[in-house]
Amino acid sequence: MNGFPRIEPLGDSALLLILGEGTNPALAARTAGLAAHLRAAALSGVSDIVPAYGSLAVFFDRVTAEPERLTERLAQTAEAFEAQGPPLAHDRPIHVIPVRYDGPDLAEVAERTGLAPLDVVRRHTEPVYDVHFLGFVPGFAYLGPVDRALVLPRRPTPRRRVPAGSVAIAGAQTGVYPLETPGGWHLIGHTDVVLFDPERNPPNLLSAGDRVRFSPTDG
Amino acid sequence: MITVLRAPPFATVQDLGRSGHLHAAVPRAGALDPFALALANILVGNGPNSAAVEWGLTGGEVRFEQDATIAISGARARATLGGRPVPHCEAARAAAGEVLAIERIEAGAWVYLAVAGGINVPEVLGSRSTYLPARFGGMEGRLLRAGDHLPIGRPSTAALPGEPPTSIPSRREATAELADPRPADPIAVLPGPDLGLLLSAAWRWLVETEFRVSRAVSRMGYRLEAPSPAFPLPGDLPSAPACVGTIQLPPGGEPIVLMPDGPTVGGYPRIAVVASPDIGRLAQRSPGEVVRFQEIGLREARAGLQRRWNLLERVAESA
């Protein structure tokens, strides 16, 4: 019952495939890899595959898919994926996102972390981040892990409006707001890169399992 | 073309929503009451997924600039077309220049206005549904307002696939069954994936409590008011997938039922999931109205869904 992976229903129109618990980046990478693998397998009757940290949801067409058969196929595909191991990092696309580090919270982040603002920038631009999954609003990618020295809880009171393109950190995560939305993360910079465009196919720039590096610009 | 003369505070263009982009955090969007939208469409000879107007809160007026076959479904509204009363869930013919006046909504929350040919706004990501938070789909990604011109598509004889089984009643009975939101009946729910993290008292609380729809209702979610649960609630969990109908239990103890514009992943415990055929019934309840939940099995929920589609096929047969 508590073994992984396990498959259980999410309502009457989706199944959950659960690989593990917690938020560790290796687990998220396995989940993203399995989601890509399942997508490539193009199981009949499946309309979407939605990964999060340690689980993914498989949505099926309203009445066409037979959940019992789909459960079997999912179990087999997950087993084959686990046997084959996660995709190698260098096989996954890397996006370089230019960032102007002039966010309204940069000074406060520097103060609270005891770092110089330039050090905050250096520590934010050094790692190559994994896209764990997308959520919150269209095109918003949860990236991580951030440098330990930059880990701060989210702001106690979220801002009502965070401008599109804001580059932000919270906890062990970083991300870019694709649209103007409310938000509680610390805004350290801004990018002109369009993360989400509904007229584009696919509309999202980043997908679960991709890699991202931020590069500082003056412009 | 349809001209909006007087818009209610909350009206959007919706179809049955978009699929295939949930992984990019693009919600399904689409009608809050999908079967009401599908029924209105079928009554005017459209396929179930044509775009229609989802109309909420108060009355308003639109003018048809061309002859059109129309139907209204969903919430019960007092409506007239060129001064003649418009029956609920029946096709009616509008002559060019005639005004449809929805005077007020009498029972339920969302009225669907379908027109033969559908509302012909451009498709965005495979759907004509408005998704307000990201401002795309429907009419320029926004609420309808006075002065809007809604293009009408070319009427076709789109049919639903398949013949309904003979166990399905007559067209009139099928329409009546689809049109009845059974406002006093409980909403069917399936146990949610995080139920195991809660004490066993949690499920009893969910199915025995009389909830009320709060004022915090939107196309993203409906918050329900309830006496505080007498069992401990976990804090935030690692983000996990959610679907339309997911009932989240945040630390405050007031459940939130996710609706079609709701998030694709969430960090609150998912105590239950509303059975698909009942999402529209819940969406039709207004702030202050009572909601009770009743457990249903997966097989039963899927049979209920199948029955709804079969009923629509019966109505389509002779449309």
| Mean pLDDT within B244-251 | 94
How many contacts, defined by CB atoms under 8 Å, are there between A and B? 138
Query: How many angstroms away from the CA of B248 is the closest CA of chain A?
Result: 13
CB distance B129 to B15 below 8 Å: yes
Mean local confidence (pLDDT), A59-88: 82
Beta strands B60-64; B2-6: pairing state: antiparallel
Strand (E) positions, A122-195?
A: 129-134, 141-144, 159-162, 166-170, 173-176, 181-183, 186-190
Minimal C-alpha gap between A22 and chain B (Å): 6
Overall average pLDDT of the A134-140 stretch? 96
CA contacts within 13 A on the Cβ side of B95: 3
**pLDDT of residue A176 exceeding 70:** yes
Contact A175, A144 (CB under 8 A): no
Residues of B in contact with A59 (CB under 8 A): 19, 22, 243
Rounded-to-10 torsion of CA A141, B141, B284, B151: -140
Q: Does B274 touch chain A (CB under 8 A)?
A: yes
Residue in B135, B243, B306 closest to A63 by CB: B306
Dihedral sign of CA atoms A128, A134, A135, A141 in order: positive
Residue B122's Cβ-count burial label (10 Å; 0-12, 13-18, 19+) is exposed
H or E element at residue A64? none
Measured between alpha carbons, how far is B157 from A48 in angstroms, rounded to an integer?
29
Residue B152 banded pLDDT, cuts 50, 70, 90: very high
| Cβ atoms of B44 and B91 closer than 8 Å | yes
Q: Say if B243 is an interface residue toward chain A (CB within 8 Å).
A: yes
Based on DSSP, count helices (H) and strands (E) in chain A, helices before strands.
Answer: 4, 13
Residues of A in contact with B273 (CB under 8 A): 10-12
- The dihedral region occupied by A114, where left means phi > 0, alpha psi between -120 and 50, and beta the remainder, is left
DSSP conformation class of B136 = B
- CA nearest to A62 within chain B: B305
**Mutate: best of B132, B140, B239, partner A, most A CBs <10 A:** B239
Give tens-digit pLDDT for A103-116: 999 999 999 999 99
Quick one: CA dihedral B157, B161, B162, B168, positive or negative? negative
Taking the CA of residue B263 and the nearest CA in chain A, the distance in Å comes to 6
* Least confident window among A74-88, A135-149, B13-27, B159-173: B159-173
CA distance A33 to chain B (A): 13
pLDDT at A2 over 60: no
CA distance B271 to B253: 11
Interface predicted TM-score (ipTM) of this complex, two decimals: 0.93
Sign of CA dihedral B139, B143, B149, B152: positive
Question: Which phi and psi (to 5°) does residue B225 adopt?
Answer: -95, 140
Mutate to test the interface with A, among B16, B23, B274 (most CBs of A within 10 A): B23
Whole-angstrom distance, CA of residue B199 vs CA of residue B88: 45
At B161, the pLDDT band (50, 70, 90 cuts) reads low
The average pLDDT across B87-97 equals 95
| Residue pointed to by tokens 């959610």 | B242
Quickly state the pLDDT bin for A1 (edges 50, 70, 90). Answer: very low
What is the percent of chain A with per-residue pLDDT over 70, rounded to a whole number? 95
**Distance between B258 CA and the closest CA of chain A, angstroms:** 12
CB contact, 8 Å: B23 with chain A?
yes
Chain A residues closer than 8 Å to B275 by CB:
11-12
At B43, give phi and psi (nearest 5°): -60, -25
Cis peptide before A86 (omega within 30 of 0): no
d(Cα B5, Cα B268) in Å, to the nearest integer?
A: 42
Task: For residue A100, give the amino acid letter.
Answer: R
Q: Is B122 helix (H, G, I), strand (E, B) or coil?
A: coil
* CA distances (Å), origin B213, targets A8, B9, B132, B245: 29, 19, 22, 15
Q: How far apart are CA B290 and CA B227, in angstroms?
A: 13
Mean pLDDT on B283-298: 96
> What pLDDT shows up at residue A96?
98
Chain A, residues 44-73, CB within 8 A of chain B, namely 47-57, 59, 62-63, 67
Q: Do B124 and A10 touch (CB under 8 A)?
A: no
Chain B partners within 8 Å of A196 (Cβ): 24, 134
Q: Please determine, for residue A219, whether its predicted confidence score (pLDDT) is greater than 70.
A: no
